[in-house]
């Protein structure tokens, strides 16, 4: 029997003729522990989106004409408050995108007892907080916030995430390293006296303490990339020291592209041929990931680091074509 770990397959289907419902059941056999909850939600969200795609394509109606589709999560373990909040966001997404089905979550009665809504036992640790830079994809980024790329099909982010605006079109978030993964911080997770300013200061101190950024020359001579293992490449845009050092090394201003969250590439700003090659390479990377890995897409903006005042700004004259 398949479970929520198996993509692009329906675990169980049941025709509930009494209520005229077509149940598409997801078997969830993973605990909602504080260490694994973010991964759990990501995996379950992907499975739910597989089911939603099946329904949206008309296959559910073809299989059981006239029956109301229901995505039902059948869990082996209790739901935590984090899980209940996640399910609430999934429900909101479904209702605001055509209301094509219902979403339910329940337990197998033979597996109880359960105590849904318990605490995740989250313990705040300022030394384990790291920054996360996200593109604000909203049409009016100065007044709205949308952290989801138009190419993404994930549910909306929770509204109480700790956020700060950066470079007008970007949002700074904060994550805590939980050992097996990261969890995004919300305002209700912060102890008394911890402000956004304190989070920002500690997060970047922790980033420079634990993450080693390396500069790699690409196959195209004159183009360079930033590498740090795949987790925090995009956050290098906020570390002015990296760009000051590279501008000094190249004795020039820099043009920087961030087509995906793990691919930051740059070159000398004064060399028009290299800049053209940089933009072309960024467009290729963006186009490939748009089709194969849309979750990696990061930005179509082109940045310029200016040595004279050590500032990084979005260049309004250049952008990455999709």
Query: What value does the mean pLDDT take over residues 293-306?
Result: 92
Domain boundaries, the chain: 12-111, 126-209, 214-319
Which of residues 80 and 220 earns the better pLDDT score? 220
Query: What value does the mean pLDDT take over residues 24-43?
Result: 88
Query: What value does the mean pLDDT take over residues 241-253?
Result: 97
pLDDT greater than 70 at residue 305: yes
pLDDT greater than 80 at residue 162: yes
| Pairing verdict, β 68-75 and 12-16 | unpaired
Which of residues 322 and 268 earns the better pLDDT score? 268
Question: To 5 degrees, how large is the angle CA 38–CA 189–CA 180?
Answer: 30
Strands (E), 167-253: 170-177, 182-184, 214-217, 224-227
CA gap 45, 156 in Å, rounded: 11
Its pTM surpasses 0.75 = no
Q: Categorize the per-residue pLDDT at 122 as very low, low, confident or very high, splitting at 50, 70 and 90.
A: confident
Query: What value does the mean pLDDT take over residues 217-235?
Result: 95
**47-52: Cβ within 8 A, 24+ apart:** 47/4, 47/7, 48/73, 48/90, 48/103, 49/153, 49/154, 50/7, 50/8, 50/9, 51/10, 51/24, 51/26, 52/94, 52/100, 52/101, 52/153
Q: Both tokens of residue 206?
A: 């922790």
CA gap 235, 261 in Å, rounded: 9
Query: What value does the mean pLDDT take over residues 279-295?
Result: 92
pLDDT greater than 80 at residue 257: yes
> What pairs with residue 257 in β-bridges?
265, 302
% of the chain exceeding 70 in pLDDT: 94
**164-168: Cβ within 8 A, 24+ apart:** 164/196, 164/200, 165/136, 166/133, 166/238, 167/312, 167/313, 167/314, 168/141, 168/142, 168/314
Q: Given this model, what pLDDT does residue 290 score?
A: 87
Q: Categorize the per-residue pLDDT at 80 as very low, low, confident or very high, splitting at 50, 70 and 90.
A: confident
Is residue 256 within 8 A of residue 302, CB to CB? The reply is: yes
pLDDT greater than 90 at residue 138: no
Q: Given this model, what pLDDT does residue 301 score?
A: 96
Q: Given this model, what pLDDT does residue 297 score?
A: 87
Question: To 5 degrees, how large is the angle CA 145–CA 146–CA 147?
Answer: 115
Query: What value does the mean pLDDT take over residues 118-131?
Result: 85
Tens of pLDDT, residue by residue over 83-116, are: 888 999 999 999 999 999 999 998 876 766 677 7
Tens of pLDDT, residue by residue over 192-225, are: 999 999 999 999 999 999 999 999 999 999 999 9
Q: Given this model, what pLDDT does residue 174 score?
A: 96
DSSP for 86-130, written as a single string: HHHHHHHHHHHTT--SEEEEEE-GGG----TTB-------GGGEE
> How many other C-beta atoms are found inside a 10 Å radius of the C-beta of residue 165?
13
Query: What value does the mean pLDDT take over residues 47-72?
Result: 95
Query: What value does the mean pLDDT take over residues 143-152?
Result: 76
CA gap 196, 174 in Å, rounded: 9
> What pairs with residue 260 in β-bridges?
263, 297
Q: Given this model, what pLDDT does residue 200 score?
A: 95
Query: What value does the mean pLDDT take over residues 239-257?
Result: 97
Is residue 267 within 8 A of residue 119, CB to CB? The reply is: no
Query: What value does the mean pLDDT take over residues 281-305?
Result: 92
> How many other C-beta atoms are found inside a 10 Å radius of the C-beta of residue 110?
5
Q: Given this model, what pLDDT does residue 1 score?
A: 76
Mean pLDDT across the chain: 90
Nearest to 174 by CA among 184, 164, 189, 182: 184
Q: Both tokens of residue 246?
A: 């590279």
Dihedral of CA atoms 31, 33, 35, 40 in degrees, nearest 10, equals: 40
Residues 50-64: b if buried by 16+ CB within 10 A, e if exposed: bbbebbbeeebeeeb
Q: Given this model, what pLDDT does residue 159 score?
A: 64
Nearest to 47 by CA among 7, 92, 89: 7
Q: Given this model, what pLDDT does residue 120 score?
A: 66
pLDDT greater than 90 at residue 37: no
């Amino acid at each position: 029997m398949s479970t929520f770990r198996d993509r692009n397959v329906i675990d169980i289907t049941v025709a509930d003729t009494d209520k005229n419902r077509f149940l598409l059941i997801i078997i969830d056999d993973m605990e909602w522990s504080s260490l694994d909850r973010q991964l759990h939600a990501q995996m379950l969200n992907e499975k739910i989106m597989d089911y939603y795609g099946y329904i949206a394509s008309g296959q559910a109606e073809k299989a059981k004409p006239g029956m109301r589709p229901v995505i039902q999560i059948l869990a082996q373990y209790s739901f935590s408050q984090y899980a209940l909040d996640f399910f609430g966001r999934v429900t909101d997404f479904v209702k605001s995108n055509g209301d094509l089905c219902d979403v339910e979550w329940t337990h197998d009665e033979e597996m109880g007892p359960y105590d849904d809504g318990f605490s995740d036992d989250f313990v705040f640790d300022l030394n384990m907080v790291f920054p996360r830079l996200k593109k604000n994809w909203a049409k009016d980024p100065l007044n709205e916030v949308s952290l989801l790329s138009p190419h993404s099909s994930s549910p909306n982010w929770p509204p109480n995430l700790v956020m700060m605006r950066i470079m007008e079109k970007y949002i700074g978030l904060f994550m805590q390293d939980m050992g097996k993964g990261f969890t995004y911080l919300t305002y209700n997770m912060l102890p008394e006296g911890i402000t956004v300013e304190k989070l920002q200061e500690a997060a970047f101190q922790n980033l420079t303490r634990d993450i080693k950024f390396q500069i790699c020359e690409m196959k195209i001579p004159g183009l360079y990339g930033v590498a740090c293992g795949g987790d925090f490449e995009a956050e290098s845009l906020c570390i002015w020291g990296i760009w000051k050092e590279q501008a000094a090394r190249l004795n020039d201003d820099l043009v920087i592209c961030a087509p995906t969250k793990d691919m930051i590439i740059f070159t000398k700003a004064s060399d028009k041929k290299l800049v053209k090659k940089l933009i072309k390479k960024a467009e290729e990377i963006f186009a490939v990931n748009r089709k194969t890995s849309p979750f990696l897409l990061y930005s179509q903006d082109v940045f310029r680091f200016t040595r004279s005042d050590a500032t990084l700004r979005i260049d309004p004259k250049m952008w990455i074509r999709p």
